[in-house]
Amino acid sequence: MTKEVHILGSGCAKCQKLAQHTEAAAKTMGLDYRIEKVTDLKQVMGYGVMMTPALVVDGQVKIVGKMPSVDEIKKLLE
């Protein structure tokens, strides 16, 4: 089953780093995944997120306003 992952944010450096870390975590786990970057403020707020970057996995907000490590992201993707 494909993991649906969304990176919420403006496209800032932290958002880009979160996307890189998430991709690295998914690849090392051998996951079937799809990452989408969501930069539209209305869509971001639709998740109830007020701080970015944020990580959403299969529709559930997992991290808000933090930069988790690759290892932390692996736990969130399980």
Of 4, 10, 12, 27, which residue is the catalytic one?
Answer: 12
Q: What is the 3-state secondary structure (H, E, C) of the chain?
A: CCEEEEEECCCCHHHHHHHHHHHHHHHHHCCCEEEEEECCHHHHHHCCCCCCCEEEECCEEEEECCCCCHHHHHHHHC
- Active-site annotation holds for 59: no
pLDDT bin (cut points 50, 70, 90) of residue 64 is very high
Residues spanned by the domain of 39: 3-77
- What's the CATH code of the domain at 52? 3.40.30.10
Q: How high is the pLDDT of residue 14?
A: 94
Give dist(CA 27, CA 66) in Å, integer: 21
Number of domains in the chain: 1
| Residue 37 φ/ψ, nearest 5 degrees | -95, 125
Of 15, 18, 26, 54, which residue is the catalytic one?
Answer: 15
- Is pTM beyond 0.75? Reply is yes
pLDDT per position as a tens digit, 5-61: 999 999 889 999 999 999 999 999 999 999 999 999 999 999 999 999 999 999 999
- Active-site annotation holds for 12: yes
